[in-house]
Amino acid sequence: MADLSAYRFTKTHEWVKSEGSGEALVGISDHAQSQLGDVIFLELPKEGTRVTAGARFGAVESVKAASDLYSPVTGEVIAVNGAVSAAPELVNQDPQGRGWLLRVRVDGDLPGDLLDAAAYDSFAQADSH
């Protein structure tokens, strides 16, 4: 199993991973992509867009459903992963790696209400039942 100790998760199934220098990657969890099924389209913000922790920043569509995406952090989008726009299946193949969605210049520290991997795993298992 992958080492997820550097990741923090939301109860809406997004993750954030600090990259140092005030930057962080944002994506959806492995649990979320498995619940969605085959991802076929992503609606993502443009570079320069401001995102707010807990607020909608886009959407993910799969063969099963469409779901809103919520930012785990507040800051400015400094990069959008063009690879997932061109090949949305990367979100299914490697959701917490090559399937990242946004790089954000974070305002301040990560929010304190984010879950570590163990707490998120417990939450996701309970949420599935």
Check residue 20 and give its pLDDT. Answer: 85
pLDDT band per the 50, 70, 90 thresholds, residue 129: low
Confidence band (pLDDT; 50, 70, 90) for 47? very high
Q: Where are the domains of the chain?
A: 7-121
**What pLDDT was estimated at residue 4?**
86
Environment class of 63 (CB within 10 Å of its CB; exposed 0-12, middle 13-18, buried 19+): exposed
Q: What is the pTM of this model?
A: 0.95
Residues 72-121 pLDDT 10s: 999 999 999 999 999 999 999 999 999 999 999 999 999 999 999 999 99
HSE on the CB side for 17, CA within 13 Å?
19
The span from the CA of 60 to the CA of 42, in Å, is 5
CA angle 67, 56, 44 (to 5 degrees): 75
Q: What is the DSSP letter of 115?
A: B
What is 7-121's CATH topology? OB fold (Dihydrolipoamide Acetyltransferase, E2P) (2.40.50)
